[in-house]
Amino acid sequence: MNSVMTLSIFAILYLCAVAYLGFRGYKATQTTADYLVAGRKAHPVVMALSYGATFISTSAIVGFGGAAAVYGMGVLWLTVFNIFVGIFIAFVVFGKRTRRMGLHLQAHTFPELLGRRFNSRFIQAACALIILVFMPLYASAVLIGIARYIESTFMVDFAVAVTVSSLVVAAYVIAGGLKGVMYTDALQGGIMFVGMIILIFYTYAQLGGVVDAHKKLDVIPADTAAQWEAALPEVRAAAPAGLEDAALLGWFAGVAEELKKTAAMDDAQKAAFFEKLPEAKAVGGILKAHPELVNQLVIAKLSKSGFQGWTRMPKKDSPMLYTLITSLVMGVGLGVLAQPQLAVRFMTVKSDQELHRAVLVGSVFILSMTGVAFTAGALSNAWFLMPEHGGKVALASVPGGNIDSIIPAFINGALPKWFGLLFMLTLLSAAMSTLSSQFHTMGTAIGRDFFEKGLMGSKAGAGTVLITRLGIVLGLVATVVLCFVLPEGIIAAATAIFFGLCAAAFLPAYAGALFWKGMTRAGAVASICTGFLFGFFWITFIQMPKTTLPAILSNYLLGKPTLLPEPVFGIHWNWVEALFVALPVSAVVAVVVSLATKRESDEHLALCFGGIGRKHAK
């Protein structure tokens, strides 16, 4: 009862603070610019926290933290990319030009910036349509993350957790616009920072300190192999006659996998099962006597994909290495540059100096978020493996091997109850800060970019706010529906897919708009369309998510898991993230078409690039 009371007090205080900040945003929103770009007067610390809190969501903490429990410390390369590309390159290289060009062109959204730079209503509407269709995929990954934690911590039905969480976020976004979003982001970013710092200290304390923790993680494969060797005599006795020792583990793992099916069988079905597979009884008996053998089964299964331990990178040319590098690290690490909900943050500050001041805050924030989540995720294996905590590695300690449940289970088991309450607020803040920006971006895509500027071609913004609010509701509905459609363990994969698709469709046109006066309208249109279509084709017909799931449309329409099942030029293309293929194609198309077509007028280019590149630009 005390825990329930404490949680209630924490939650009420938190929601009151969010409501107050949302109300402040509502009262401070007088114009369309206030609603869309926070009046272009945001404080650099508020902007940095808002950017970081928007970037880092439950998909990073829960989804990628869970992925680190499988892929190991190699996921920390994403932290390196997040800081160097997502903060330094984004703020210093892209941010200053985005802010200045957005101000000169009076652009209020990412699609509007591209549309006005290239004098194209089609570009603005097309970018908006891509956001409308695919951002719910990313938003649903974030929403699933917080809903899974609420479900496992408070035994609340998943559907209830999804519905309530989404409605709370939508309420203050609809009312307060981007000002309300940024005010609440700053609060939520502060809560996230405190929560993650406490998490890393407690994680290391539970495992005996930094050095001991990493040593324990490093020796897990060797220890589990020794346990398997100790049980070999019993396994040999149960195995079919003549089976060599080298094949015993594969046989044992296969029977153990079949044995799992009996959990859903009645007595008659079980009798038939054991009659058909008599050795299953012996295998079940061995697992009951030696439950620690499940760890060797998990490692053996992961090893087939290239796993070499949680402190080592996967094997060269393995499915696990392809997924880790091309999808988790590069897909998100590069895709961040073309995220519409992040790019618009650069338009909210009043000078380039404000962006410079925001770099340090943003870097420390990203390091404390992703660095902690990924480290704790990998180290959770050492904690779960302790006899008093079940004696199994993380993947074997959660129902169904769902990686999205690893971080919630670790928090609930390893840390004090009071931290569970604080971490609930940390995850709630992470989810709400990202969801609020996603809903706002989807709303502006419908209201301003697609309807007002794309379809109507109107320069008056009288109805923008109303239509944007309706767009937020539509985005909310699409996001909630996807939460019940997507498969388990999809958080990290869904995030990487969206980031990669945005990079393929938007990044060449965005970079060309900011840095190359020779980039033409035709080049931008061709690049956006090619990048999107090629990326979409790759995701749906070639790429196999997590290297095991079939490509969606290829499997559904053609009955094939992928159109490229075999390596071509020594590369397993079905394991490669769409970003790696679609982005170069999109960039080449942008350059070739731009060189072959007429660029914009000198007067328009002077307006777009006015003041850009000058020292001390204001």
pLDDT in tens, 323-355: 899 888 888 888 889 988 888 888 888 888 888
Low-confidence stretches of the chain (pLDDT beneath 70)? 1-8, 26, 29-39, 153, 172-180, 453-465, 489, 546-548, 611, 613-618
**CB neighbours (10 Å) of residue 390?**
17
Copy the structure tokens of residue 359: 């770099």
Copy the structure tokens of residue 507: 């990044």
pLDDT at 616: 44
* Most distant CA pair in the chain, distance: 85
Q: Is the pTM of this model over 0.95?
A: no
Rounded-to-integer distance, Cα 141 and Cα 137, Å: 6
Residues in the chain, overall count? 618
In Å, what is the CA distance from 181 to each residue of 38, 138, 166, 404, 429? 9, 18, 14, 26, 12
pLDDT at 273: 86
pLDDT at 528: 96
DSSP string over 441-476: HHHHIIIIIIIIIIII-----TTHHHHHHHHHHHHH
Say what angle helices 406-414 and 64-71 make with each other, to 10 degrees: 90
pLDDT at 178: 61
In Å, what is the CA distance from 342 to each residue of 30, 238, 336, 501? 23, 58, 8, 15
Rounded-to-integer distance, Cα 359 and Cα 357, Å: 6
Instruction: For CA atoms 8, 404, 323, 559, give the dihedral sign.
Output: negative
**CB neighbours (10 Å) of residue 193?**
20
Rounded-to-integer distance, Cα 585 and Cα 83, Å: 26
- Give the position of tokens 């000002």: 179
Q: Helix (H, G, I), strand (E, B), or coil: what is residue 106? A: coil
Rounded-to-integer distance, Cα 332 and Cα 317, Å: 21
